[in-house]
Amino acid sequence: MGMLSRMSTVVKSKMNRILDNAEDPSETLDYAYEKQLEMLRKVKKGVVEMVTTKRQIEIQSNKVQSNIKRLEVQASQALQIGREDLARLALQRMETSKSELEGLSNQIMNLEREQEKLTQAEKRVQAKVQAFRNKKEIIKAQYNAAQAQVRIGSALSGISEEMGDVSLAIEKAENKTESLRARAGAIDELAEAGVLNDFSGSQDSLSIELEQLSAQQNIETQLAALKSKISSEEKK
């Protein structure tokens, strides 16, 4: 058996239970409709979760970005006072942060793609559910007609397949979001534990030394500015 026939089985198995509950056709239609609305809510929730996770990773990525900038400045400050050892360390950290940043950017891109897919799925479900609702009311109105049974069957199997498809899409999206969120969470934990102090701003000896350097440098700059201000005022 090839993939084609397998896929049909998978999708159908997802939603067939709706049809199994059929006794009173009009009840089945309403029940199926309820299920569809539920599915629509799920898709919407999925999109929101994805946006939240993306936001979380973006925040991390911004932190890493500003960290890279800070390290760069610190490296050149260290060089200016002849501390090549410190400059080297700062640059090493910068490289680590850069590759971390690349990883985060990939994750964001990944999430954006998933988000786009899920948003498309949402649009599709919205349209299908609307179509089903219209059809359902028409079928119910002509419930006694001989054709009704056939129509219920075809409308239900069409929508069931759609819902099976969407539930698969949601599952996949959820799995991806979860693993990304787990990764983001793990990075946060590492940062809190001080392993990745670059994220949390908590300080190790190198950071402290570099910070002191920056502070020292700032003080020198300000001092120089003050001196020149005073001297120019004296000249007046």
37 binds another protein (CB under 8 A): no
Residues 65 and 67: their CA atoms lie apart, in Å, by 5
109 binds another protein (CB under 8 A): no
- C-beta of 53 vs 67, nearer to another protein: 53
Quick note: the x/- pattern for another protein over 133-172, rule CB under 8 A, is --x------------------xx-xxx-xx--x--xx--x
What three-state secondary structure class fits 82? coil
Block residue for tokens 């991806």: 176
- C-beta of 25 vs 158, nearer to another protein: 158
98 binds another protein (CB under 8 A): no
Residues 188 and 35: their CA atoms lie apart, in Å, by 38
Residues 45 and 38: their CA atoms lie apart, in Å, by 11
35 binds another protein (CB under 8 A): no
- C-beta of 33 vs 214, nearer to another protein: 33
Amino acid at 230: I
Residues 69 and 75: their CA atoms lie apart, in Å, by 10
Question: In angstroms, what is the C-alpha Rg of the chain?
Answer: 30
17 binds another protein (CB under 8 A): yes
Q: Under 8 Å CB-to-CB from 105, ≥6 apart: which residues?
A: 61
Opening angle at CA 14, ends 10 and 15, nearest 5: 130
Find the shortest distance in angstroms from Cβ 50 to another protein.
Answer: 14
9 binds another protein (CB under 8 A): yes
Binding site for another protein (CB under 8 A): 2-4, 6-11, 13-14, 16-17, 117, 121, 123-124, 127-128, 130-132, 135, 154-155, 157-159, 161-162, 165, 168-169, 172
